[in-house]
Amino acid sequence: MKVNLLINNEWRAFHVEAGEYLADTLRRNDFLSVRRGCDTTSCGVCTVLLDGKPVPSCSILTVAVDNHEVTTIEGIQKEADKLSDHFGREGADQCGFCNPALALTVYAMKKELKNPSDQEIREYLVGNLCRCTGYIGQEKAIRSYLEDLS
Amino acid sequence: MKVLDYYRPTSLADAYETLMRNPQNQIMGGGAWLKLSPGEITTLITLDGLGLEAIAEQPEAVLIGAKATLRAIETSPLIAQLQGGLLRDAARHVMGVSLRNIATIGGSIVGRFSFSDILTALLAMNAQLVFHARGEIALADYLLLHRPEKDILLWIKIEKDNAHSAFRKVARTRLDFAILNLAIVKTRATTTIALGSRPQGPVLAKRAMAYLNESANLTEKVFEQAARLVTEELAFGDNLKAGKEYRRHLAYVLSKRLLKAVNSDES
Amino acid sequence: MKAVNTITPSVDGKGLMMGRKGYTDDYAEKNSLIIKIMRSPHPFARIKLIDTKRARQLAGVELVLTYRDFPRVPFTRAGQGYPEPSPHDKFVLDEYVRYVGDEVCAVAAISEEICEEALRLVEVEYEVLEPLLDFETALDNSQIIHPEPEIHEMFPTGFAPKRNQAAAYRMEVGDVETALKGCDVAIKETFYTQAQAHMMLEPHTANARIDYQNRLVIYSSTQTPFHIRRIISQALGIPLAKIRVIKPRVGGGFGGKQALHGEMFVSYVTYKTGKPSKIVFSRKEVFESTYSRHPMRITMRMGATKTGMIKAIDCHILSDTGAYGEHALTVFMVAGSKVLPLYNKVAAVRFGGEVVYTNHTPAGAFRGYGAIQGNFALESAIDILAEKLGMDPILLREMNMMREGETSPIFAIMGEGTEGTAMIMDTCKLDYCLKRGKELIGWERKYPRYDETREKVKAVGMAIAMQGSGIPYIDMGAATIKLNDDGCYNLMVGATEIGQGSDTILTQIAAEELQTTVAKVIVYSSDTDLTPFDTGAYASSTTFVSGNAVLNTARKLKQAMIVEAARILGTEETKIGFDGDMFRDSLSHKEISLKDLSNQITYSHEQKQLSVTASYVGHKSPPPFMAGFVDLEIDKETFEIKILDYVSVVDCGTTINPKLAQGQVEGAIVQGLGMTLFEEVKYTAKGKLVSSDMLNYMVPTRVDINNLTTEFANSYEESGPFGAKSVGEIGIDTPPAAVGNAIHNALGIRMTALPFTPERIYRQMLIKERVEK
């Protein structure tokens, strides 16, 4: 089946099987920042933005998002760059496998929530598991990114 | 689940006709658990574009489209007002935001997952389901059907009772499914108690409800007795997450606490 | 110090967050053959018949491999130095399968779908054998898991497969029984620790191709690229010179990627077919068919005088290594060697036990490696003893614990699989860690419990811990630094960056010694063709061992540069001063910049490449120490636990990168809390893993962790690079005992089996109520 996706502001056409998941379509087409972590929608590693909202691309059929907008980390490079400065200062990046997905979710949260509390930030990002950092460093970095108006 | 074909119908009639054409054809919910289900689907039918994402207000009730996502429900001001915000409270405990952005309420209902927090809340709220062919049926009755006939769930109708409510889920971590979930709705006239993930699916604690609804004074002693009835009348079981005895104990403690909470709200 | 002990962003964090290519699967060839493995549905069985004919005939199938395709060469996948302390008890494929998930056969085909179809066409007939699932009955059981004659140990490790014993060990200092008899107070308790899954977010992944020199090039998500090269060469009979292993970015390891998992298959398939191949483990395979932590039963006896002097400790362990003996002996020995020296004033100490085979998923290396198990038992026992003595548990520790300048006889006796190395604690700030931790948690105010209401109670608990810094005389690291024109440097290290930040801290160490900035040192790690040898990222060795190697290398390069500067400036080497940018002759005050020097020797005069390689092997393993304090709230009816704060005060010597060191401690604390509260590898009664996905195996989420408070003691270890010791593992050790002690302080019950689920606490409370009635 033919599917048109607006990926990172560029229309792309893909031929996919009906049963193919978005994560696989993207990876097959060299969006290597989209990764699989768990197969059960539990870990958040495969998160992309669909029409601006974070979704697990491992569980969305590509045909179901025909004519929708998909954003991967390549689509928000400036924000990722900025967020990574805050992560760097807090020493909050370790293995980095989940960081593009976390950055996308943080970016979506920034647009969706106004002045979120620490608890709201945790709740919004809870689906992005991290096995490396213990979370607290990440949260300090994210908090300072949200407060950074530069 | 293996998906061979995907179809976007132009109308509900078209969707229903396609659904009935082949026993292997299925309606797609949010798709969150599609990958984890066994079997094969000949044609997966989407309900996108048929207006079923809406959450609409009627004079006496709120209508929720089967395609409304859990995230839309969680953030809807209408749902926040509805029966003390119970459905919102249940929805926000379901895994993470990205999953709630795709999981739909229709998927939660038709999937009939025994661990569902949504079903327990809807049961306590006495939700009515509107199907394309069958028409209207109470969720409580729908859950009793052994194998419901193939149909398309369109709307979930919940009455705008002026109620107090409380929801509680016990789980190992924030992303886990419930060891037990419990929802209580208290209107002026009646108290409704639903428990799910026992690990069996959600049910009403009818004896406890009857006892409460017959009690003149709602004292702590009455709550304790009602909680005891909950543990006596309902079955609990073992699974990976917890055993029967602990679940029964939780049912007692949480029934007692939630009853107290919904009644103290009133004062 | 300029580059070291300053807040420095990691050298790779930005690129990785921006989504740049970096992980193993990103480098797989697009036309790779896909490899899928058929896994055993039985915990123990013999393959009576395996018919692969129909699968081989399927279009798109390249190879179907069974045990008949491999020479009968037993090896160990453990990923350790050679000769390994783990028994050689594994074949790439075998006629026997020994756990649910063990490899039956492998298929290589042009797509995943065809692989799966091919696997359905393979017919297997099993002779199902009675499995051995209870590790407490494994020893000398009539059912023998490893009857095959070819398997062997590499040196004496207590390997006795006919007894289902993978390893055994015992030692005694003094006379424990006599010492215990002389004690005023004695306690005995048995503790159980569970298997834990690593759950790094990147699954095990490997791919291979033959390059234009006809060599096998493997990309692998591994902690031990050099061991992989050796083990593949040995097990598959491929000359080592034909193999190149590249470790790109690794998405977390925690010990789970110390061993080989998919590498054997991609190597075999690509070497045999000449075609590129790849394997990516599904999450289920990661849970079911890689490794988890060794479950243990630990019996602790301890005795003290009535004034609180601990006189004897007796520790006996039974450890479950599962179907294969990877790390069987070493994990179990660490449960003694990196735990018992904490209380070094005893008259007698004994340690011993057995490691047994069962038909479970094999156990292997996991951060904390024995120490977390042993620490749970020891530090719980200390609180039990303190209660019996009527003493404050912190005072009891202070009276008996290791101090700076002291030692323990255990260091000389016990190593990892071998004899140990005697050493004095040149740095040990445990006393400070305890004092500071008490302040930070508010111990005086909160101990034993506080803010009790009808429904809830808050409480504090604590434990102390030690670890090591590499394995002396075994773990070796090496580095090469070369000077480039323009005055920047390449740093090539065998040390394996797996997300812990080793590329960054090794760059900092080089930059510090070369008096330059991190930006001028370009690091490249772990490529068996291009970087010098390193044993790998395990045993808390990178900062201390590889860091010392980098420091040695930088020193030598500096000297080589000074030689050149002296020649150019026409003076003696001893007269040259170097500040990182300028070389100055102290006599003539003539000078030349590093930039000019490097350009001159590269392009214009007496051209040469300055490049230095140096190594380091430890002669000691200075332990980092810490005190961990937990502040928690327990629901007195549901027994749910909320961690309010976890205070860690750590003596790891100098923190090369303070924020990354903090990240190591905090990440480890949360993994330790996961093991303490939620995480549990569970099997059905028939031996099938049920916690085989992330819906059933639960790790802590960010909502489950409210706060972590982490500080470092002021400490400088002379033997470490710029005063550093290790910090990778120490954080994981204290949570089980600290939380267990806090639960005791809150509810008056003693939890002896991990994890402390609300249900387990509930059951323990029922027992307590029954006893009190």
A79-104 pLDDT, tens per residue?
999 999 999 999 999 999 999 999 99
Contact between C653 and C622 under an 8 Å Cβ cutoff? The reply is yes
pLDDT band at B37 (very low <50, low <70, confident <90, very high): confident
Name the residue facing A97 among C10, C21, C251 (closest C-beta).
Answer: C251
- C-beta atoms of A32 and C19 within 8 A: yes
User: Which of C171, C162, C103, C169 has its CA nearest to residue C138?
Assistant: C162
A45 contacts in C (CB within 8 Å)? 201
Amino acid residing at C540: S
Return the structure tokens found at C713: 């003691």
Of C519, C540, C493, the residue nearest C664 (C-alpha): C540
Angstroms from C370 CA to nearest CA on chain A? 20
Q: Classify C100 as helix, strand or coil.
A: coil
**Distant-in-sequence, close-in-space partners of C212: CB < 8 Å, separation ≥ 6:** none
What secondary structure does DSSP assign to C165-199, as a single string?
EEEEEEEEES-HHHHHHT-SEEEEEEEEE------
Give the class (CATH, top level) of A2-73: alpha beta
Tell me which residue has tokens 């038992």: C377
What confidence tens digit (pLDDT) does each residue in A107-134 have? 999 999 999 999 999 999 999 999 999 9
* DSSP state letters, A15-77: E--TT-BHHHHHHHTT-TT---S-SSS-S-TTEEEETTEEEEGGGSBGGGGTTEEEE-GGGGH
- Tokens 């040990």 belong to residue: C428
Q: Which of C5, C7, C16, C698 to mutate to test the interface with A (most CBs of A within 10 A)?
A: C16
Q: What distance in Å separates residue A57's CA from the closest CA in chain C?
A: 16
The dihedral region occupied by A74, where left means phi > 0, alpha psi between -120 and 50, and beta the remainder, is: alpha
Identity of the residue in C455, C637, C678 whose CB atom sits nearest the CB atom of B173: C678
pLDDT of residue C704: 96
H or E segment and range at residue C297: strand C296-304
C-alpha angle with apex C662: C703 to C624, nearest 5 degrees?
125
- The DSSP code for C67 is G
Q: How far apart are CA B78 and CA B49, in angstroms?
A: 22
Q: Are C627 and A58 in contact (CB under 8 A)?
A: no
In the prediction, which pLDDT does C186 show? 98
What topology does CATH give the domain B55-159?
Answer: 3.30.465
CB < 8 Å to A81, chain C: 14, 18
Cross-chain residue pair B172–C757, CB shorter than 8 Å = yes
C177 φ, ψ (degrees, to nearest 5): -60, -45
Name the residue facing B175 among C638, C682, C701 (closest C-beta).
C701
- At residue B216 the predicted structure's pLDDT band, cuts being 50, 70 and 90, is confident
Which residue in B61, B211, B67 sits closest to B126, CA to CA? B61
User: Do B4 and A127 count as a contact with CB atoms less than 8 A apart?
Assistant: no
Counting as contact any 3 or more CB pairs under 8 A, the partners of B are A, C
What is the distance in angstroms between the Cα of B162 and the nearest Cα belonging to chain C?
29
pTM over 0.95: yes
Q: Give all strands (DSSP E) within B200-247, no chain letters.
A: 203-204
- Domain at B164-262, CATH homologous superfamily: CO dehydrogenase flavoprotein, C-terminal domain (3.30.390.50)
Using CB atoms, which residue from A18, A44, A61 is nearest to B98? Answer: A44
Query: Chains meeting C at 3+ CB pairs closer than 8 A?
Result: A, B
Spell out which residues of chain C touch residue B175, defining contact as CB-CB under 8 Å: 698, 701
Residue of B97, B99, B249 to mutate for C, most C C-beta atoms under 10 A: B249
Residues of C in contact with A93 (CB under 8 A): 10, 12-13, 16-17
Question: Taking CB atoms and an 8 Å limit, are A132 and C252 in contact across chains?
Answer: yes
DSSP element (H, E) containing C712: strand C708-712
Helices (H), C485-543: 502-513
What percent of chain B lies above the pLDDT cut of 90?
A: 90
Q: Which of C8, C6, C2 is nearest to C503 (CA)?
A: C8
Residue at C73: amino acid letter:
V
Distance CA B30, CA A60 (A): 9
The model's pLDDT over C279-292, given as tens digits with 9 standing for 90+, comes to 999 999 999 999 99
The mean per-residue pLDDT over the stretch B240-261 comes to 97
- List pLDDT tens digits, range C726-753: 999 999 999 999 999 999 999 999 999 9
Domains of chain B, by residue range, sit at 2-45, 55-159, 164-262
Quote the CA–CA distance of C510 and C502 in Å, as a whole number: 12
Of the candidates A18, A59, A124, the beta carbon closest to that of B97 is on A124
| Cα B115 to Cα C716: distance, rounded to the nearest angstrom | 54
- B45: nearest CA partner in chain A: A64
Q: Which CATH class is domain A75-149?
A: mainly alpha
Best CA proximity match to C610, nearest among C768, C465, C458, C485: C485
Contact A54 B97 (CB under 8 A): yes
What is d(CA B130, CA B126) in angstroms, rounded to the nearest whole number? Answer: 13
- DSSP conformation class of C487: G
Residue B39 — pLDDT band, cuts 50, 70, 90? confident
Tokens of A120: 């709201």
Averaged pLDDT of chain B? 95
Give the residues of chain C that fall short of pLDDT 50: none
CB C305 within 8 A of CB C70: no
- Please report which helix (H) or strand (E) contains residue C761, including its range: helix C758-772
Tell me the one-letter amino acid at C498. I
Query: Is the CB of residue C310 less than 8 Å from the CB of residue C304?
Result: yes
* Beta carbons of B31 and A42 less than 8 Å apart: no
C17 Cβ under 8 Å from any chain B Cβ: no
Report how far residue B250's alpha carbon sits from residue C637's, in angstroms, rounded to the nearest whole number: 8
- pLDDT higher than threshold 90 for residue B24: yes
Residue B136 β-bridge partners = B130
pLDDT for residue B31:
82
Return the pLDDT at C327: 97
Whether residue B267 has pLDDT greater than 70: no
Helix count and strand count (H, E) for chain C:
19, 27
Number of B/C CB contacts below 8 angstroms equals 41
